[in-house]
Structure 1
Amino acid sequence: MDPPRLPRAVIAAAFAAAAAVCAQPEEQRGSEAESPPPRLPMPVANNAVAALETSAGWSVFSFLGIDSTKLWSGVTTASFRWDLGASEWETIEPPPGPGRLAATAQPFDGRIFLFGGYTVAEGGAEQSLPQVDVLDPETGVWTRAAPMPTPVDDAISGVWRDSLIYVVSGWHDSDNVAAVQIYDPARDAWAQGTPIPGPPVFGHAGGIAGDAIVYIDGARVQAEPRTFVLETSSWQGRIDPAEPTRISWERVPGHPGPGLYRAAAVAVGTRVVFAGGSDNPYNYNGIGYDGRQAEPWSGAFAFDAATGAWSELPAPDTPTMDHRGIVIADGRAFIVGGMTAGQRVTGRVTEIRLRP
């Protein structure tokens, strides 16, 4: 029998002591004269985010995360909604169950699907959750979908051809997994896709652009001594339309800037856009697994799955890290919450530009 594996918090402490979205076409973007977005009702980081068009117009959602204490007790269920044009966010009914971190959300067919995440106990024990919660924004009612076969957190997700939702790699209780789990909302059923060929990671960033899954970097497990280190690699997987569980993976050239952990990302047409993140993997308090304070990176860039080329984009006004994604609403792109310099949890909503 293999020896038991330690949770991330335990490994981090030991090491420190020793050493998506399916988006609108960009030409439909809203006016440059739009008013700036309001701040969240409270600072929150590592929150799941999504946006979709409702009967009230375009709406942006934030679920779960960690508050400004950055303590295990600050892991929250707090959830919010902002209708574009409104002067403030409103508090909404949270998903059922405990507060958790590192969940991922995707809009699909007028609903929002919220996958996984992990809880943190007072003693530091962490548990990845299998649950899939579904929000109907018209009624505010949550329902439960079929659970993930392998519970994961800190994964990436994306919607393919308005039919399937892919959940790629991530952390499962005591180690990363290479699994690509595919959820079919029409059948409320799961299938397994071709696993990623690179090192399994958590805190990576990416999305699905056309038939391409694109993701970068994240944290991988180092065996000796067992800890977490930054994985600097970029990958593209081509989904076979005739057999969507079959994915042809290939490594692509490295992206601009440093390797990144918990950057924000979203698919826009044939491109996947990335912004922020940190070059030092860290625990939920913003302190690196190497004992150093993590700081946000200030840049942004995009990968075009149609051409295989990277391009640099204008940097966000405020560098941030600790994200689950970028959201696009009515053609406008937003980073919601996160951590700014000095590991400060923020309620700021930053609008970013998708073109140079």
Structure 2
Amino acid sequence: MRFWSKAAAIGMAMFVSACGQEPTEQPASAPVSSTAEFALPIPISNNAVVAAEGPDGPTLYSFNGLKSGKSWKDTSNAAFACIISIKDCEEIASVPVEEGRLASSAVTVAGKIYLFGGYTVAENGDEVSTPEVFVFEPKSNAYTRLADMPTPVDDMVALPYRGRYIYLVSGWHDEGNVSLVQLYDTQFDTWSMATEFPGKPVFGHAGGIANHSMIITDGVAVAGLVDGKRKFAAAPFAWRGDIDPGDPKRITWRAIDAHPGGPQYRMAAMGDNDRGLILFAGGGDNPYNYDGIGYDGEPAKPTDRIFGYDLKADQWIELGKLAEPGMDHRALVKSGDDYYIMGGMDADQAVTARIMKFRIDD
């Protein structure tokens, strides 16, 4: 995978100016987000996060991730539940795997939480993509093993569709990125392949789905070899995928303008059906393995931007700023009118227990 022995390869950013329509300017009165009045029990980053109805009402959940030591020994299989009404977080049953996982993904479908893959890190730096899929029942606090991914991936984008399906778009598999779009059917616990992702295969990209359309943007591509070592490059592209309502395996892809501001790595993202909007927040400006230090040796710097893609208008829009810059996120989650970011890294590449939230004015 992105072995430490290969991390010295130069991280070449491919900076491309956005073309086409400029984003809508953020209104001067747009609210800045706030830091929530509760925090995770421990600092955790690169964790899979979702919102679901728990035993005590709407709850934010975190699974797996990286603890504050940021070494191979700090990968975690811990899980946490944060009850929004009482502003309290507690540790719950760990993910039933022997080793911690980084870059796994979680999605809520029909009240159940589906947890996909991730990768393990050995003492010698070897990294292995894992195939496991679990369903977690919030009310019973129990995990059940489901059918493995056909191709184990991590650092992918996971997207729910129509209260039944889950797409896994691109991502890393052991030795390289894949263009696959793997489609999981929660009703029958089966897998199929959807229309392949046409852009450069990437890891650490971000995306969301609303109604029948998805947006996939940024991430890191393999840009060749130097002295036998992989060279990684930020990928400043964006793609829109429109799903055939009669066949979830058929996706019509088309390239759209890259978002302004340059590519970001591991942004928090999600789709909002009601708004017809795909939202993005935070992210790092320099691709890195898992410690926040770029493949080129330069520390990654987080952003405080909140922006989105308006599917109806077919354009990017600026939406505000986070209370504090953040990066190394797996997803953005929503409960009620609030959007949440759980954990991640701060401006000093330190792993944080912070939970941030924001709203978008209509």
**Is TM > 0.5 for Structure 1 vs Structure 2?**
yes
Please say if 1:152 is aligned against 2:153: yes
Q: Which residue of 2 aligns with 1:56?
A: 56
Cα distance in 2, alignment partners of residues 286 and 157 from structure 1: 23
Please say if 1:228 is aligned against 2:248: no
Equivalent positions of 1:294-313 (< 5 A) are 294-313=300-319
Q: Which one-letter code corresponds to 1:82 in the other structure?
A: C
Structure whose residues are more often strand by fraction: 2
Cα distance in 2, alignment partners of residues 326 and 134 from structure 1: 20
Per-residue deviation, residues 14-65 of structure 1 (Å, max 9, x unmatched): 548xxxxxxxxxxxxxxx9x99330111101000000012342111001110
Cα distance in 2, alignment partners of residues 130 and 67 from structure 1: 22
When the two chains are superposed, the root-mean-square deviation of aligned CA atoms in Å is 1.7
Q: Assess if the C-alpha contact under 8 Å between 1:175 and 1:221 holds in 2.
A: yes
Q: Which residue of 1 aligns with 2:348?
A: 342
- Match of 2:183, SS state, is strand
Equivalent positions of 1:310-329 (< 5 A) are 310-329=316-335
Cα distance in 2, alignment partners of residues 56 and 261 from structure 1: 34
Q: Which one-letter code corresponds to 2:171 in the other structure?
A: G
Distance 1:8 1:220, change over 3 A: farther
Q: 2:296 aligns with which of 290, 294, 297?
A: 290
Please say if 1:333 is aligned against 2:334: no
Long gaps (5+) in structure 1:
1-5, 17-31
Q: Assess if the C-alpha contact under 8 Å between 1:256 and 1:312 holds in 2.
A: no
Cα distance in 2, alignment partners of residues 286 and 35 from structure 1: 22
CA offset at residue 102 of structure 1? 0.3
Cα distance in 2, alignment partners of residues 162 and 66 from structure 1: 30
Q: Which residue of 1 aligns with 2:200?
A: 199
Q: Which residue of 1 aligns with 2:96?
A: 96
Equivalent positions of 1:161-240 (< 5 A) are 161-225=162-226, 226-240=230-244
Q: Assess if the C-alpha contact under 8 Å between 1:257 and 1:299 holds in 2.
A: no
Cα distance in 1, alignment partners of residues 360 and 153 from structure 2: 30
Cα distance in 1, alignment partners of residues 3 and 154 from structure 2: 12
CA offset at residue 333 of structure 1? 0.6
Q: Which residue of 2 aligns with 1:12?
A: 7
Please say if 1:123 is aligned against 2:118: no
Distance 1:57 1:35, change over 3 A: farther
Q: Assess if the C-alpha contact under 8 Å between 2:107 and 2:159 holds in 1.
A: yes
Question: Percent identity over the alignment?
Answer: 44
CA offset at residue 275 of structure 1? 0.5
TM-score, normalised to structure 2's length?
0.89
TM-score, normalised to structure 1's length?
0.91
